[in-house]
Chain A
C-alpha cells in the first residue's frame, strides 16, 4: 500500500477551508497532488498554501489550452525533507483571460507569468512588467503561439512575413 496520508490531509484541509471554491482534487501518487480552484480565489488559496502550509516555492507556471478555456497551472513545492508538489490549476475563459498576479505572494513567479502571458495571452492583473520576454520584437500582437488555434504552418507564414 503506497502511503499518501499527508497528501490527502492537505486536500481535505483545502476542501474544509475553501469549500465550493475547490472544484476538483486528485492525489495521484506520493508527493503529487492536483487541485483545480475557482479562478477568483487564486490569491487567497495561494496565500494560505504559502503562508500556512509552507508551499513557498513556485517551480514554474504551465499554460494549457482547453478549447474555450485556458488553464493556468502553478506548480508549488513544499518546504520539507520529502516535499509534496501541488499543481494548483485555475481555468479562465479564453475570451477574457484575466487572472490576478501571484508576484506579491511569491516573488519568484515574476518571469513565469510573463512567459504564460506571452505564449498564451493570459493577462496577470497587477503584474509589475508584462513586457515581451521571449518572442521577437516585431511579433504581431494577438498571436499566442501555444494556443491550439495557431498551427505550426500558420506561425511559420507569420514569421516569414515578419522577416520581409
Chain B
C-alpha cells in the first residue's frame, strides 16, 4: 500500500510538472503586466525597467528556468498587487473554498442517498418518479441562477440573508445552496443507477428469498455496494467545487481560491495565478489518492498492485 501511494505521488508529480509548464506559458500569453501597472504616459525606459525588475525581458525559457529554480527553493514569487508572497495569498484563499466544499458535499451526499434510494426502491411509484424528476431538475439548474434567485428571494424580498460577503452562518446559506444543487442531482442519479443494479443482482435475490425485511435489504445489503460509485462521482464533484466555485464565489463576493485566481488573471498577477493553480491541482491530486485508498478499504476485491 505504501509503495502504491509513493508511486501515485511520483506519477502525480510528473503530471503536475507538465501542468505547471502549461500554466507558465499560458499566463504569460495574456500580455505584459507593464500595460496594466504603469501609467499611460510612461516612457519606454520605464517599461523596460519594469519588465527587467520582474524578469519579463528575458526569453521565456530563461524565465522558466529561473522559475523552476525558485520553485525548488519553494519561492513562488510575490504578488504584484499585494506585494506579499504569492503562495500566502493562495494559501489564505484556499481554505475558504475548501470549507465551502466540506460543507456542501456531506449535505449533497445525504440528500442524494435519500432521493436516489427512493427513486430506485419503487421506481414506478409516485414517490419514485418524483425523486427521479427532482434529481433531474437539480442536475439541470445552473448554480449562478440559484444564487441570483436565492438573493432575490431571501435577501431582497424577505431580507433574511445577506446578499454577499463573509461572516456568520447567514453568509453560508446561499453559496452552499447554489453549490449543492448540481452535485445532489448528479449523485442522486448515480445512487439510483447503482441501487437498481444491486437490487436486481443474485445476492439480493438470495437475501430476499431468505425472508429478510425490505428495509434491511436496501440499507444493509444493497446500499453498501452502491456506495462505491457514489464515492467516485462524489470525489469528482468535490474536485469540481475546489476548482470551479468561481462563479458562485464571484456572485457572493466569497474570497476563495477561484475568485482569487480569476481576479489575478484579470490583473496579470502571474505569481498568484501560478501559486493558486498549484494549490488547486495539488489538492485535487491528494483528493484522488485519498479516494483510491477509501475505495480499496470498502471493496475487498480491489487491491493495490
A-B interaction: no
B residues at A contact (CB < 8 Å): none
